[in-house]
Amino acid sequence: MTPPAGTLTIAGKTVSRLGFGTMRLTGPGTWGDPTDRATAVRVLRQAVHTYGITHIDTADAYGPHTVEHLTRDALYPYPDHVLIATKVGMIRPAPGQWMPLGNPYYLRACVEASLRRLRVERLELCYLHRIDPEVAVEDQLAVLQALQNEGKIGHIGLSKVTPDDILRANKYLTVAAVQNVLNTEESFDPAVETSRELGIPYVAYRPLGAGRLVSANGPAAPLHWLLDLGSHIAPIPSTSQPSHLAQIVAAVQGSPA
């Protein structure tokens, strides 16, 4: 099966440049179960088994915990060529509310819980969901690196970071991926160039502006804009509807690798 929009190596795996973000497979406010759980499971299976998307991005904070369970139920046992990425380090006080928590003990507990929910022995790609400004960044990175040394994390990524954050982290560990918001409305991020210079894949979340950018003309223009910015960029659009997923894949089918 030919991957949509070609391929890119992330966390040691050659995966489709077009990934799938799971954030929208929850209830309102990224909280709780989706209204139609069976459809959420079907969307995940279609992404991988019908359309050849081999990069699935999730987080323990989506639900919280909801989408890691959905991912397991939809895709386990995971095909060897599929990358399941997750994130830790964010707490959810209420629907629509997000707070970073980088206490090393909490981060370790998050990783252990994600391993159980996803039913794996190692998180192939685990992002620090946010750098907690109240905790020394070295301490947050150190616990993830310790978990990597223990074999519980394969590769470590960073989410919502600046070029300085990337350069600082890169002194302590190998940053496997950077995940920031990027789309035709939120179009400037200096981390794009930093990632390119360091050879780090850049995973663009909210590539369709939470649906705002597709209302008139469909997803083709905003997705092609991202893909054309550089071969290191991998957009991860999210949807809960099979029809929307089909439109997204059709929009990039045949794009250059």
Instruction: Spell out the domain ranges in the chain.
Output: 7-252
* Beta-sheet pairing, 90-91 with 99-100: antiparallel
Each of the 257 residues of the chain gets a pLDDT tens digit; together they read 788 889 999 999 999 999 999 999 999 999 999 999 999 999 999 999 999 999 999 999 999 999 999 999 999 999 999 999 999 999 999 999 999 999 999 999 999 999 999 999 999 999 999 999 999 999 999 999 999 999 999 999 999 999 999 999 999 999 999 999 999 999 999 999 999 999 999 999 999 987 677 766 779 999 999 999 999 999 999 999 999 999 999 999 866 54
Catalytic positions, please?
Answer: 62
Angle at CA of residue 231, ends 122 and 128, nearest 5°: 35
Cis peptide leading into residue 77 (ω within 30°): yes
Pick the CATH number of 7-252 from 2.60.40.10, 3.20.20.100, 3.40.50.1950, 3.40.50.300: 3.20.20.100
User: Which pairing describes strands 123-128 and 153-159: parallel, antiparallel, or unpaired?
Assistant: parallel
At 35-63, the pLDDT tens digits run: 999 999 999 999 999 999 999 999 999 99
Do 57 and 236 form a contact (C-beta atoms < 8 A)? yes
